[in-house]
Homo-oligomer: A and B are copies of this chain.
Amino acid sequence: MTPPTGSLPTASTAGSGLRTDVRVTRVDAVPFSIPYRKPLRFASGEVHAADHVLVRVHTDAGVVGIAEAPPRPFTYGETQASIVAVVDQLLGPALVGRSLHDRNALRAAMHRTVGNPTAKAAVDMAVWDALGRCLGLTVTAMLGGGAGRPLRVCHMLGFDDPAVMVAEAGRMLADHGVDTFKVKVGRRPLELDVAVVRALRAEFGPGIDLYVDGNRGWTASESLRALRLMEDLDLSFAEELCPADDVLDRRRLVRRSTIPVLADESATTPAEVTRELLSGAADAVSIKTARTGFTVSRVVLDLCDGLGVEVVVGNQVDGQLGTSCSAAFAAAHPLTAARAAELSNFLDMSDDLLTESLRIEQGHLVLPVGPGVGVVVDEEKLEHYRRDR
């Protein structure tokens, strides 16, 4: 008895005081490569260059929204070339002609393609950026976060000798006031990593916040042993120490750990978050806009809010554009701004695409100011670093 939608009565919007609609005309994906000054090494891989993709959403208002897609093949199965292909061939065509105001429809349209989280997230964020530019609003304000909350920064320390990692932490503290560190662990013998964490705590005392990230490098038993050896080191979180697909072992680890276990690459969609939390495979969740964009990151956040678990805003080894996106999201919500967010990886890159560099001062990211995500691409730099010409 339901009539076809096309025949439903609708009211005209003429003279209603409503803004004109804005629609997607084109989505493009530009691969670029910027070398790292210092490679980042961790249990599941290492990064020597930012072989990322700039995603641009063009609109019929003439405004262009931007975002950055950092491929991580060993976590999501995406490469720079696959992201370009998926945006060009699937996501872009699915969005052309659609309204920026109907982001829920854009999400559904992109969801028809399975996987490819980083490609989808970048398109989603570029849509929000474009809309913010049209409206003269920051993404943070669009997310209900007003002018944004101050964001403490957590710095990630990749594999190295204890003395080198302590020196890097010391520089971050002295130069940027950063006092929260995520230490990459998961090596064998695990005493290598325990020695690093112990050296950090010995050097900086109780004034710094420390957590560890195993990137699935250990077994559950090794993880429990490592946690036991670090019991006196006051860790805040233990992230992905062992694989989530070690199903029973992972639950045993979580049940017996006195440190809250943070799910990252095991909880990349709302359904995965539900599965991992409800099966007892995690205590808290890392949110990365690089893989869930703004639209789905908020679903994950609301899910964690409703389930009553903590979140950390993580880093997919983002460049400055990606970091700006993470920050726009993190600054909008009390729950995400409650803890230091992982926003400093860009410091190890030799350059970036933006006209103005992000800054970390007094331990906090200085939030970009401007509509959308708040940053602008330097066209000359893009010409220099792009790899498609």
Contacts and interface: CB of A to CB of B under 8 A. Distances in A.
A301 to B, nearest CB: 8
A270 B306 contact: yes
Given A19-B135, A306-B271, A370-B18, A102 B2 contact: no
A305 interface: yes
A366 B103 CA distance: 22
Contact of A364 (B8, B137, B295): B8
Interface in A1-18: 1-3, 5, 7-13, 16-18
Nearest to A12: B369
Contacts of A141: 101-102
B366 A334 contact: no
Contacts of A13: 369
Interface in A300-349: 300-303, 305-308, 332-334
Chain copies in complex: 2
A56 B305 CA distance: 29
A81 interface: no
A252 to B, nearest CB: 22
Given A135-B19, A278-B278, A366 B10 contact: yes
Interface in A343-383: 359, 361-364, 366-371
Which of A2, A270, A361 has most chain B Cβ within 10 Å?
A2
Interface of A: 1-3, 5, 7-13, 16-19, 21, 99, 101-105, 108, 133, 135-138, 141, 143-147, 150, 152, 173, 177, 179, 207-208, 270-271, 273-274, 278, 295, 298-303, 305-308, 332-334, 359, 361-364, 366-371
Given A103-B144, A270-B306, 16 more contacts: A1-B173, A1-B177, A1-B207, A1-B208, A9-B364, A17-B133, A18-B371, A19-B137, A99-B146, A101-B146, A104-B146, A105-B334, A108-B334, A135-B137, A273-B306, A302-B302
